[in-house]
A = this chain, B = another copy of it.
Amino acid sequence: MHAASIETLIEKFARFPGIGRKSAERMAFYILERMSEEDASQMASAILDAKKSIHFCSQCQNLTDIDPCRICGSQKRDRSVICVVESPEDVNAIELTNEYNGLYHVLHGALSPVDGITPDDIRINELLLRLSDTAVKEVIMATNPTVNGTATAVYISKLLAPFDVKVTRIAHGIPIGSDLEYADKITLIKALENRQIM
C-alpha cells in the first residue's frame, strides 16, 4: 500500500527493540507529515554524528566520545571498586543516585543460553584484563536480578575466584515506597533471607 520509500523507513524503525509495526508507522508518518525538511535532515545527521563520534571506552567498555571515558579518566573516582553492569543505561541509573564513586564495567548483555549469548559475546575478558591492576579490591556484581543476570553474576564471580578481590552482589529486597502486599514471592523470600539487624 505505502510508497516504497515510506515502507523502507517503517521497516528501519520497526527494528528498534520494543517498537512494533504500528509505532514504526506512526514515527515514519510523523517525519513525513509534521517535520520540516530541516528537522528531518537534523535527525539523520544526529544518527550519523552519534555513530561516528561514540565508541566503547577501552577500559570500562561504556559508550563514550573520549577515551578513556569521563569516569575512567577522572582523578576523583575510587579506583579500588568496579561495578559490573549489563548496559550503559545501568551506569546512568547508578550515576543519578550520586552515591557511588567507583568505576564501572559494562558487559553489553548477559549470558543467555537460549539466545546463544555465550561468555565470548559479552565483555567478560575485558573485565579480567582490568584485574591485573592490583588497585582493584572489590567487584560489585550489579547485573539485573533476572535469570540471565544472576547466572552472569555467578559465572563471573567464579572466574574472579583466583584473583585477590572481594566479589559482592547488590542487595535484592522490597523496593522502597512499595507495598509488601504486592511484592512477588521471590523478592519477599530474598527480603526475609537478607534481613538486617536494626
State in angstroms the CA–CA spacing of A8 and B89 once bound together: 16
Which of A25, A26, A32, A45 has most B Cβ within 10 Å?
A: A32
Q: Flag if A45 contacts B44 (CB, 8 Å).
A: yes
A41 touches B48 (CB 8 A): yes
B37–A51 contact, CB under 8 A? yes
CB-contacts of A9-55 with B (<8 A): 9, 12, 16-19, 23, 25-33, 35, 37, 40-51, 53-54
Which of B2, B42, B47 contacts A40 (CB under 8 A)?
A: B47
A51 & B31 in contact (Cβ 8 Å cutoff): yes
Contact across chains for A5 and B87 when beta carbons are under 8 A apart: no
Within the complex, which residue of B5, B27, B50, B53 is in contact with A16, where a contact is CB–CB below 8 Å? B27
When the two chains form the complex, which single residue of B6, B32, B108 contacts A33, counting CB atoms closer than 8 Å? Answer: B108
Among candidates B8, B48, B54, B64, residue contacting A44 with C-beta atoms closer than 8 Å: B48
Interface residues of A: mostly helix, strand, loop or mixed? helix
Q: Quick check: is A75 within 8 A (CB to CB) of the other chain?
A: no
Is residue A176 within 8 Å, beta carbon to beta carbon, of the partner chain? Answer: no
> Which residues of B sit under 8 angstroms from A9, Cβ to Cβ?
46-47, 49-50
Asked if B37 and A5 sit within 8 Å, CB to CB, the answer is no
Closest to A23 in B: B18
- Rounded to whole angstroms, the CA-CA distance of A87 and B33 in the bound complex is 9
Q: How far does the alpha carbon of A1 sit from the alpha carbon of B5 in the complex, in Å?
A: 36
Q: Are the CB atoms of A5 and B40 closer together than 8 Å?
A: no
Set of chain B residues within 8 Å of A49, measured between Cβ atoms: 5, 8-9
Q: CB within 8 Å of B: which of A49-89?
A: 49-51, 53-54, 63-66, 87-89
> Complex formed: what's the CA distance from A159 to B186 in Å?
63
Distance from A20 Cβ to chain B, minimum over Cβ atoms (Å)? 11
Residues of A within 8 A of B (CB): 1-6, 8-9, 12, 16-19, 23, 25-33, 35, 37, 40-51, 53-54, 63-66, 87-89, 92, 95-96, 108
In order of increasing CB-CB distance, the 6 nearest A-B pairs are A3-B65, A44-B44, A40-B51, A9-B50, A5-B50, A44-B47
